[in-house]
Amino acid sequence: SGLEGGWISILQTALIFDTRDFEPDPTKGYYFEVANEYSSNLIGSQFNFNKLFLQGKGFWKLPFGKRTVVASRIGMGTIFGSEAPFFEFQDQWSPDGSINALGGKQSLRGYRANRFLARSMWFTNLELRYRFLETKLGKQRFAFGVAPFFDAGTVRDRWQDLNFTKIKFSYGAGLRIAWNQSTILSFDYGKSKEDGLFYIGIGQAF
């Protein structure tokens, strides 16, 4: 479905529970989300489908170093409706930042973006964020940290088939530069059995 393109209208809704202490770069707290995208002829779309995405994040500060944080995330998404166009498999919408599925800097670093596509997916990320230096240059404050990480996930044609077999995984490490606390510059190198890729971005991966 969708090989010839078509008009899509989507209604996006989400329910969020968030206790993070500082959204751009948290040291503790949790984030839980249920997000949904609804597409129907009733709202002017040529395709009838529904995309559901669930994710949870947790952050725990460890009692050593200047600022050491364990950060974790798990997400699961599925698409209901036989008319869902194939290009809608490429992302899972979230108010906290949409996620390419599956592969790329937001889900499975070390694989190319959207390397694995299907109606249903799950993935998880784990990072150890260790800050080793804080300094001030003029009126600007900078903090430097490293973040070794591990990513894993898989895709299936049906959500009922999601399990822990044939999992794709990757690993790597990143450099984090916090500029005046709220601006985070990220430099990640991810390694998978297919490739080794370098990512540059603004903000934490999650």
Give the pLDDT confidence of 117-129 residue by residue, as tens digits.
999 999 999 999 9
Q: One digit per residue, pLDDT tens: the chain, 206 residues?
A: 888 888 999 999 999 999 999 999 999 999 999 999 999 999 999 999 999 999 999 999 999 988 999 999 999 999 999 889 999 999 899 998 888 889 999 899 999 999 999 999 999 999 999 999 999 998 999 999 999 999 999 999 999 999 998 999 999 999 999 999 899 999 999 999 999 999 999 999 99
Confidence (pLDDT) at 5: 84
- Global pTM reads 0.90
Per-residue model confidence (pLDDT) at position 118: 93
Q: What is the pLDDT of residue 124?
A: 97
Q: What is the pLDDT of residues 33-53, one digit of tens each?
A: 999 999 999 999 999 999 999
Per DSSP, the residues of the chain read: --TT------EEEEEEEE--SSTTS-SSEEEEEEEEEEE-GGGT-S--EEEEEEEEEEEEEESSSSEEEEEEEEEEEEEE-TT--GGGGGEE--TT--EETTSBTTTBTTS-TT-S--SEEEEEEEEEEEEEEEEEETTEEEEEEEEEEEEEEEEESSGGG--SSS-EEEEEEEEEEEETTTEEEEEEEEE-SS-EEEEEEES---
